[in-house]
Amino acid sequence: MTSDCRASGLPAYVTNPERLEALRRLDILDTPPDGAFDRVARIAARIFEVPIALVSLVDEDRIWFKARFGLDVEEIECHPGLCSSAICSDDIYVVTNAATDLRAMANPLVTETFGLRFYAAAPLRTLDGFRLGTMCIIDRKPRPALTPEQEATLRDLAGIVMDQMELRLSARQALESLLLAKLDTDKLANPDALITICAWSKKVKLDGEWVTFEEFLARRFGAQISHGMTREAARAILTAWKASSAAEGKEQLS
């Protein structure tokens, strides 16, 4: 187990500059609701039979909910939020009865009208090891500790959420690289040389049709993508594309 919490007050890990940089890199804070993440929250609530399930991201001074089931608010203060404590460790964080648990009994969500009693969270962990938030479930009544199987399920749900976030980051970075590559071709006078991207869905317009990023790469460059794309993979595709474009240009001149 790794832990980065202070004995009291706001956990030091919350304001860790490298962690916050990793969070900013996702560019997901304050974005509109997303069906994919909302679906995971609904599934978690059904699986664990709880009234509330959340996908939370812990900023330096607030806890923002990317997805929420059974809760109306979009964010809460970072201190003394339970999610702030949950990201201090790679382990599952469980409070079976917050009214008697020293870690949570003074929390306003416990002492005031909300009446939180049970809380369990799996950290959202990036590929490079930063814990950015949680996949958490909440009940207003005490519950037993999670079984190993239930802990594994909560971890898997957190993994699905993080895979989606990493995939979207990789797709956006690759699209940005493609745009820059297009700008470098000096073909801006030709509308057909531009790549049209929907800022919201991140889909690409190809031959008058909106397609996914993966389908765009497959149809335009012959690339087969099964999961997230790294910058190195994007560069490899761009290198092949530039070589192909250069060859086509020579043919047209000859």
- The span from the CA of 233 to the CA of 22, in Å, is 20
| Residue 125, strand partner residues | 131
In a domain, 153, yes or no: no
Query: 128 and 18 in one domain?
Result: yes
Confidence of residue 219 (pLDDT cuts 50, 70, 90): confident
Look at residue 25 and tell me if it is in a domain.
yes
In a domain, 116, yes or no: yes
**Is the pLDDT assigned to residue 11 strictly greater than 60?**
yes
Distance of CA 228 to the CA centre of its chain: 13
Domain boundary among 79, 112, 146: 146
- Three-class DSSP category at 119: strand
Identify whether residues 90 and 201 lie together within a single domain: no
Other CB atoms closer than 10 Å to residue 25's CB: what's the count? 13
Please state the domain count of the chain. Answer: 2
Structure tokens at 179: 């745009």
Answer for the pair 221, 183: CB distance below 8 angstroms, yes or no: no
Whether residue 2 is contained in a domain is answered as no
54-104: pLDDT as tens digits = 999 999 889 999 999 999 999 988 876 799 899 999 999 999 999 999 888
Tell me what percent of the residues of the chain surpass a pLDDT of 90: 45
Q: Structural domain of residue 248, as residue ranges? A: 168-253
The region of weakest confidence among 32-41, 100-109, 115-124, 177-186 is 177-186
Asked if 117 and 142 count as a contact pair (C-beta separation under 8 A), the reply is yes
Q: How crowded is the C-beta side of 101, counted as CA atoms within 13 Å?
A: 18
pLDDT at 182 over 90: no
């993080």: which residue's tokens? 162
Average pLDDT over residues 200-222: 71
C-beta separation of 180 from 188 below 8 A:
no
Give the β-pairing of 131-139 and 196-197: unpaired
Tokens of 175: 């699209």
User: Residue 50 sits in a domain of what CATH number?
Assistant: 3.30.450.40
